[in-house]
Every structure is written in structure tokens, then in C-alpha cells.
Amino acid sequence: MRTLAIARTDGYLEPCGCGGQQAGGLARRAQLLRDWRAEAADLVALDLGNFGSQPAAVPVVARALGAMGVLACGTAAEDLADYPTFTTACREAGLAHTSLVPPLESGAAPPAAIVVSGPGGPVCGLLSLCFGSLANAALTARAVDELERLHAAQPALPVLLISHRNVATTERLVAAIPGALRPVAVLAASDSNEPAPAWERDGLWWVPVAQRGRALVRLRLVRAAAGWEVRATAVLVADGPRDVAVQAMVDDYHRSTAPPPVASTPAPYPPVTACVPCHSGAVKAWRQQPHAHAVETLEQAGRLQAGCLRCHDERFRRDGQRSPAGDRGIECATCHDALADHLANTQRRPSSGARAACEGCHTAENSPHWDHPTYLTKILAACRAR
């Protein structure tokens, strides 16, 4: 029997905490893996790769996966786009990786199919199909070559195919693989954040692996008369405890990324103070509101980063700088347009953001309890205050 734990990180270090959303993250996954290892000492961990769109985060993701004992990952397009950093980061973290995509400009050879070995010897073969410049026919031919090579070296080894392509394309590709070389399961990179059940078709198991490291799949390969029997369960990496060492790596990464500069020039839009003479009640009420404290929220969380500021700081949204202390956050100008005209002549009324404008920030992920009428009522209570 072989026991594997599989996730797909997707460059996801930790949950942001917006709207109380706390599921997942590297540190929680590390702790969960530790618990699983206490039950199954032979557990081998894999990752479906996709280390995210932030090149600076690639090394910390690789280091964290290395620290949690992840042995191998299957690369996706995003990883290969950052090929030199990614390869170096994996090497330093002791992570093997596999992909069937030609190298980019780097000129390096693409990582091919690999044998994943645990403490007790070889566990499985691994091959990753990724988006890339290869046409399907060429990709299939390469996959068959790699599987033949694996089979010749390790005939009894179960092979897992990671696919970053969609199910229909992968099905066509798998259909072209000769019977003796067929994988026992396809680990299908899924765009969903939620765990989903595996399914069987024509003797092949399809195991969806949710993105952003939010789900951990436990895969058991049991020897059966005709090859390997596959059992998969997927669980959400929820609000559990965090591994202290991995959390420290994430915190160090955040400390090492310099926050954007604090602006020394006036805001390129009318500031809140300009409204005080005629809307003092609204301004006073706004200052009591969460919108007026959205930057402090990030300061308290120690996360003054571009990725967070883009929804928490109006000044940053406009010109990439942080607001100095004072009135800042989601300001009057975030929701009210044509304010300069209004200040020049109060007969000219400013407009107010429609529902869609709220939902640019209040997304399903960042505001899971969003309900437009309820939230709007709170805003109007402030704007109508005398």
C-alpha cells in the first residue's frame, strides 16, 4: 500500500482574513500533514505546483513545501514562466519536479517524468502535463516516451499523471496511451477552491485537486489482482492550528517585501477633509466606519502589501502610493465620482458607485457574507448622518 497527500498550492501562502475567511494556508497545511503522518508513517506528500504569479514568493513556497516534507511537484505554466527562479528554489528545498513542456528562453531541458521515493523506497512514478507550446499530438508522443522510460526502469511502479489541462483534453491524451503504460490515476488540477470527490472512468481514477492549497487529498494505492486499487478522500484545510516554523517563513517573506512608499504629495482626488464644511455629519460617521480603518487593519495584520492595499487603500488604487496617517482607506472618492466639479459648484451633484463598484472589492472570496441591501444600509446610515 502507498499513502499520498496531495495539494495544489497555487502561490497561496495564507488566507487574507477578509470577511473572517480563514481556511487554508501553508502553515495550516503543514500542521495537518504532521497529524496525518502520525497515523500513516509511510505518507508521501506531493504538490500540483502552480506557485503563483508573484516571482518573489516562489522561494518561500518551495521552502515551505520542503519543510513539510513534500517530495515532488508537477509544474504548471506559471511555474515555468518563472523557470530559473523556480528550478533553483526547488533544488534548494529538495523538491523534485516534473513537467512535459519545452523550456522557455532559459534553454534548460524540461524536467521529465520522475520516480518519487519515500523512506521505504520508490512510491510512484509522476508525470505532469502542463499548458505550453506543444500541440496535443506532440505532447501525447512525449508523454508515451516518458511513460515507456519509466516503465522500463521500474515496471511494477504505479504511475500518477498530473494534468493542468482540462478533463476532455486529458481524456483524449490518456486514450492514446497503450494499456501497459496507463497511469493508475489522473490528478486533475481544478480551478475550484473546494474539495471534490474522485470518480472512475474505464478503470482510471480522476482525482480533482482544488487550487490554492485549500484542499488536501489523501490517496491510498492498494495492490490488487489487476494492478492498483485507488481510494481518494479530499478534505478542506480549514481553521486548524498552524505549524510554527512554516508560519515564521511566511511572516519573514512578508517582512522582506518592502511596502509601497507613503505619499508626500497631495492625493490626486478630493480628500475627505474637503467635505467637512458641508457634510460634517457624514464625515464624522464615516470616520467611525470600517471603511475608514481599512489601512489600519492591514497595519495590524502586518500586511502592508500591494496585493492587499489594492482593495484597502484608495490612494494606493489611484497612484500606487500609501496614504499618510489620517483620513484614509475606502474614502468618499472611492464611491463618489465627479467630486472636483461638485466642490467647484455644489449644484453639480456627484454620482455614487453602483452595486458593481462595491462588488469589485466585496468579492465572494473577500466578503463571503456580502449581501448588497444589508451592507448598503450601513453605508447610507453614515452618508445621511447630519
In the complex, the residues that contact ligand HEC under the rule CB under 6 A are 16-19, 270, 272, 274-275, 277-279, 282-283, 286, 290-291, 293-294, 297-298, 301, 303, 307-308, 310-312, 330, 332, 334-336, 339, 342-343, 346, 349-350, 352-353, 357-358, 360-363, 366-367, 369-370, 375-376, 378-380, 383-384
Report in angstroms how near the CB of residue 75 gets to ligand HEC at its nearest. Answer: 25
CB of 32 to ligand HEC, least distance (A): 21
Cβ distance to ligand HEC smaller for residue 255 or 384: 384
| Distance in Å, CB of 369 to ligand HEC, minimum | 5
| Residue 188 to residues 31, 69, 141, 197, Cα–Cα distance (Å) | 24, 22, 20, 11
We find the least distance from the C-beta atom of residue 308 to ligand HEC, in angstroms, to be 3
Nearer Cβ to ligand HEC (95/272): 272
Phi, psi dihedral angles at 79 (to 5 degrees): -65, -45
Smallest separation (angstroms) from ligand HEC to the CB of 56? 14
Residues 353, 362: Cα–Cα separation, whole Å: 13
Query: What's the closest the beta carbon of residue 230 comes to ligand HEC, in angstroms?
Result: 36
Q: CA angle at residue 297 from 12 to 27, to 5 degrees?
A: 30
Nearer to ligand HEC by C-beta: 18 or 26? 18
**Cβ atoms 68, 33 nearer than 8 A:** yes
Sheet containing 215-224, strands listed edge to edge, beginning at the edge strand earlier in sequence: 96-98, 70-74, 44-47, 2-7, 215-224, 227-236
Contact 116, 148 (CB under 8 A): no
Which element (helix H / strand E) includes 226?
Answer: none
Amino acid at 353: G
By beta-carbon proximity to ligand HEC, the closer residue of 235 and 381 is 381
Contact (CB, 8 A) for 223 and 1: yes
Run of H or E residues at 170: helix 167-175
Would the CA dihedral through 297, 15, 94, 51 be positive or negative?
A: negative
Closer CB to ligand HEC, residue 23 or residue 383?
Answer: 383
For ligand HEC, the closer CB: 131 or 375: 375
Least distance to ligand HEC, CB of residue 91, Å: 28
- Name the residue nearer to ligand HEC (CB basis): 171 or 341: 341
Asked whether the beta carbons of 194 and 214 are under 8 A apart, the reply is: yes
